[in-house]
Amino acid sequence: MFLKKHAAILSITLAGLTLRLVALAHYGDFWGDEMFSFVYSQKPWLTSLRFWTLETNPPLHMVFLKFWWYVFPETELFARLPSVIFGTVSIWAIYRFTQKLFTNRTAILAALLLALSPYHIFMSATARGYALFLLLAILSLTFFYTIFIAGETTRKNYVLFGLIALGLLYTHLTTLLLLTTEGLLLILLKRDSSPASRRAQNDNRWRALKKFFLTILPAVLLWLPWAVPAFYFKLHNPSFDQAWFFNIEPTFKTWLEALHPLFGAMNPPLQFILISVFFPILIAYALYQQKKKGTIDARLLFILLMSLVPVVAATGLGLWNIKFFVIAIPPTIILTAYLIDYSLSSHILATLILIGLTLPNLIGLTRFLPAEDWRTVNTFVAAHTNPEQKQLFVYTNFTDQPRVARYLKGAVPAIPYYPYDEQRWDEMVITKNYLRSPHPNEEMATWYEKNRITQYDELFVLQSSTLGNIDLRGWLEKNHWELKDKTTPRLVGDDYQLLYYAHY
């Protein structure tokens, strides 16, 4: 009976799990942030606690991995498997929440949209905290709506909402945007035109807001032992203003790319069409039709504001990056499902439209995977390895050290471009991994002489400007190095190039 009753959502969940397992199988090697989670979840407990305080992101996902390693082996497959689980459970969670909000048909469409979302599939196969974060975000929205909108004010619901808020705070800092938006909605929703009713609504509104703050207050207090030292360190770090998230280029293209995850899009043209044409039209149509009937559905306003407010806030703060927009993925997916369901009477047609929207991006995801493949590096190095020449492999991003150690094959020694005097590599990765500071020629000259680069006949240079204006190419060519060959390896990053130089 259960299987028959829930056949549709079980089929969608199974399809979503299958897609996530396929992505897991083809994901490739660890990229930078994944390697960070992998390495720093395996440190001794006291060392981990110290480093987690210095890290920009809260540590819940790495704490989970730390316990996970007591049971499972430390490999790429098992590092990513928890995200597959969280991502798959999210399909069921968004179905249940949407079912509570609207109709079963809308809930099926929302679950289908999330199950087929290429961006969510990618996050669900990534060894980072994003899949956990979005699952907790869906649960937070569910209990927020249940308590403060639907009025199911049981002690159990309050406790679970507070625990979810604690989990969110310890998973990602954009939780602050989510909780702020939820509090704001308690002020914005349920307005009434009559004076007497308006006073009553205001009283109810402020009582609800008070209960909301009292519910999340314990979570905030339990978050402070990490947040206070973490923020203190960051604000007193003289290099913090060089962080990449303070220096995002404010262009329309940047903003458009940051919106990709909201619709699971993998390319700007499709995203542009969705945002600039169809999505606003469908919103306006739904609001207009409801206004004609005398009232606008408060549930639509709720999910619409939950989609828009975090995006507007992140945009206003200059945080034009995917990481700061992902919090709006669940409500936007629900809103998309609602608008399509509202506009189309045919369930089959609505389903086909959703599949049509996601299919091109699913194809794009297959082309994107493996996300990182160090075989492209090793093949190039092997083709130019010469035992008769003294060769060295140099990488300009010193935080790549654990990936180089894990994946670089062959007998060629490797060193980073590491201009810092400090020798505490683990701490330097945490405190300087986000910097975009310039690297002048004087600094390169010091590094060049200190490492006695002139003793080598040939260099392999894995060039990236991820940590700022690091360009060894110009420096090497001024110092009698000739570029013999180059390739673009399949590595996650904006501008990785692998260069092969010979000294003359």
Q: Which tens digits make up the pLDDT trace of 129-159?
A: 999 999 999 999 999 999 998 889 899 999 9
**What b/e sequence results for 239-256 when a residue is b if at least 16 CB atoms lie within 10 Å of its CB, and e otherwise?**
eeebbeeeeeeeeeeebb
According to DSSP H, which parts of 148-194 are helical? 155-169, 175-188
Looking at domain 375-503, does it have CATH number 3.40.50?
A: yes
User: Which residues fall within 8 angstroms of residue 8, CB to CB, at 6 or more apart?
Assistant: 108
Residue 353's pLDDT band, with cuts at 50, 70 and 90, is confident
Q: Distance (Å, rounded) from C-alpha 137 to C-alpha 58?
A: 15
List, for residues 261-294, the tens digit of each pLDDT value. 888 776 666 666 766 678 888 899 888 888 888 8
Q: Return the higher-pLDDT residue of 118 and 3.
A: 118
Identify the pLDDT of residue 191.
Answer: 47
Query: pLDDT at residue 457 above 50?
Result: yes
List, for residues 229-252, the tens digit of each pLDDT value. 888 877 777 666 666 677 777 888
Which whole number is the average pLDDT over 28-32?
94
According to DSSP, the residues that pair with 500 across neighbouring strands are: 460, 485
pTM for this model (two decimals): 0.92
- Beta strands 497-503 and 458-463 are antiparallel
Query: pLDDT at residue 494 above 70?
Result: no
- Beta strands 391-395 and 458-463 are parallel
Which whole number is the average pLDDT over 17-43?
95
Task: State the virtual CA torsion across 75, 382, 453, 407 in degrees, nearest 10.
Answer: 0
Identify the pLDDT of residue 140.
Answer: 97
Query: pLDDT at residue 195 above 50?
Result: no
Q: Please give the structure tokens belonging to residue 99.
A: 């079912």
Which whole number is the average pLDDT over 335-340?
92
Identify the pLDDT of residue 422.
Answer: 66
Domain boundaries, the chain: 2-235+248-368, 375-503
User: Which residues fall within 8 angstroms of residue 316, CB to CB, at 6 or more apart?
Assistant: none
